[in-house]
Amino acid sequence: MQPTPFTPATIVVPAAGRRQAAVDTRAIQQIDSAHYLHPFTDFKSLNAQGARVIVKGDGIYIWDSEGKRLIDGMSGLWCVNAGYGRASIADAVHAQMQELPFYNSFFQTTNAPAAQLAAKLAAISPPQFKHVFFTCSGSEGNDTNVRMVRRYWDLQGCPERHVIISRKNAYHGSTMAGASLSGMSYMHEQGGLPIPGIVHIDQPYYLENGKGMTPDEFGVKAASWLETKILEVGADKVAAFIGEPIQGAGGVIIPPATYWPEIQRICDKYGILLIADEVICGFGRLGHWFGSEYFGIKPDLMTFAKGVTSGYVPLGGVLVGDKVADVLIEKGGDFNHGFTYSGHPVACAAALENLRILESEKLVDKVREDTGPYLKQVFEKLIEHPLVGMAETIGFTAGLVLVKKKANNVHDCEFFPSELDVGMVCRGHMFGNGMIMRAVGNRMIIAPPLVMTRAQIDEMVALIKYCLDATLKDLQTRGWM
């Protein structure tokens, strides 16, 4: 029997059986344009077209104010690991708000959810982590890292050890330190960044930098750039190296298997602290609680945010390994850093319920053993599409590269000129047909909610293929192919 041909009409339906919020799209767009400056946005061009108004979420789907359903292939923004519509998180938040909506943790006070969440995070993280510093976001977590590792080295009698090495095309946030650690030149161009004492090495992106090498050879080579930089700066001046286990915002850049073990070896050789930014990889994205476990590395600090609450309420922080925590506790005195909302009881209550869901539904195990391998099997078949030069997944995130002309070896593919912005053309077809898939240059990426089932993976990949076909036709019509 022939399979029924896929058409996106099969998924563009209003939220069946759920109350549709009554939202006047034009009215919201007007006040949005008049008053709301969106993050990372060209304000004028958004005002000209009007923002899409998202009104509802359930499971892996969201709905806009026109009743159109979309598969949220990006989990909000790498956040909604437990999926939308979790009444028990709403209930936990409601109950906590009624009991104690806020109290600070500054002046020798604490609250039960913050203490319980710290203990829970210590229990699910690798054994070197027993302590947590809470923030409200990943950016603040990375600012905390900068201050904490510099404080650590001061206390160790090495005040000159203040340089932090990061990577180009990394994303570590948008505060002054977060943006400085990030390796995006378009961020550094605005606001006089990076701040002093932060330097960058090239990223482990095989397609960009690995020509003529096997992936394994390239992994070792890319890690060697860390050693070169350490020697250039002076090992006695380097405080820490920071990296995302896989680079998310940079386009789902998956390093070769040889990369992280080499990075670990080099950090150990020079006694440099290793910071894993787990804001995206943490809480199951790679089929482990933390991406560091996937790669078998032993960081001294881990930044977290996003998936800790599945994005239901803002929360971030740093898991502090014993090596650093023991020094801060034993020798440190006051650590003059923190936020009004550090350990916010409502956010911590949301996180506790979210982690309970991830555990009780075995979502992390499922991604590792079942749906992650299935996504790999189905998504990587997209390599057969004429526009796709490379398609890869890791856990529950995936990326493909759009190419003008394919070749057996990805380095021999012909690429579109970057000014054509084919990724954005493709993204337009995805959005228009009910699929949220992000474009990062010529890479199209996804990171779906961890609740996505095998049947939903089939539905998503069929839709992606349909949209790639539409993109191909469009590019041909434009005369770009």
Among 11, 198, 249, 324, binds ligand PXG (CB under 6 A): 249
Using CB under 6 A as the binding rule, whether residue 279 contacts ligand PXG is answered as yes
**Nearest distance from residue 349's CB to ligand PXG, in Å?**
19
Measured from the CB atom, the residue of 15 and 423 that comes closer to ligand PXG is 423
- State which residue, 249 or 463, has the beta carbon closest to ligand PXG: 249
Burial of 457 (0-12, 13-18, 19+ CB in 10 A): buried
Smallest distance from ligand PXG to CB 429, Å: 19
Cα–Cα distance measured from residue 433 to residue 138, given in angstroms and rounded to the nearest whole number:
32
| Separation between Cα atoms, residue 291 and residue 244, nearest integer Å | 8
| Residue of 23, 55, 77, 383 interacting with ligand PXG (CB under 6 A) | 77
Nearest-approach distance from CB 277 to ligand PXG, in angstroms: 4
Alpha-carbon span 377 to 381, nearest angstrom: 7
Q: Is 346 in the site for ligand PXG (CB under 6 A)?
A: no
Does 243 bind ligand PXG (CB under 6 A)? Our answer is: no
Member of 59, 113, 138, 389 binding ligand PXG (CB under 6 A): 138
**Which residue lies nearer to ligand PXG by CB, 210 or 248?**
248
By the 8 A CB rule, do 188 and 196 touch?
no
Q: How far is CA 251 from the centre of its chain?
A: 10
Candidate ranges 104-112, 223-231, 243-251, 371-379; the one touching ligand PXG (CB under 6 A): 243-251
Does 139 engage in binding with ligand PXG (CB under 6 A)?
A: yes
Is 316 a binding residue for ligand PXG by CB under 6 A? The answer is yes
Q: Which of 96, 105, 137, 397 binds ligand PXG (CB under 6 A)?
A: 137
Q: Report the C-alpha gap between 144 and 163 in whole angstroms.
A: 15
Is there a contact between 181 and 146 (Cβ–Cβ < 8 Å)? yes
CB of 281 to ligand PXG, least distance (A): 8
Number of residues that bind ligand PXG (CB under 6 A): 17
Nearest approach in angstroms of CB 20 to ligand PXG is 28
Would you count residue 277 as binding ligand PXG (CB under 6 A)?
Answer: yes
Of 29, 28, 87, which is closest to residue 357 (Cα–Cα)?
A: 87
Q: Are 238 and 161 in contact (CB under 8 A)?
A: yes
Residue (of 475, 75, 454, 2) closest to 284 by Cα position: 75
Q: Which is nearer to ligand PXG, 289 or 374 (CB)?
A: 289
For the window 171-210, what string marks contact with ligand PXG as x by the rule CB under 6 A? xxx----x--------------------------------
Residues 6+ apart with CB under 8 A from 134: 105, 114, 117, 118, 315, 316, 317, 339, 342, 343, 344, 348
- For the CB of residue 369, give the shortest distance to ligand PXG in the complex, in Å: 25
Q: Which is nearer to ligand PXG, 278 or 459 (CB)?
A: 278
Question: Looking at 2-10, 167-175, 426-434, 459-467, which segment touches ligand PXG (CB under 6 A)?
Answer: 167-175
CB of 447 to ligand PXG, least distance (A): 9
Q: Which residues bind ligand PXG (CB under 6 A)?
A: 77, 137-139, 142, 171-173, 178, 244, 248-249, 277, 279-280, 305, 316
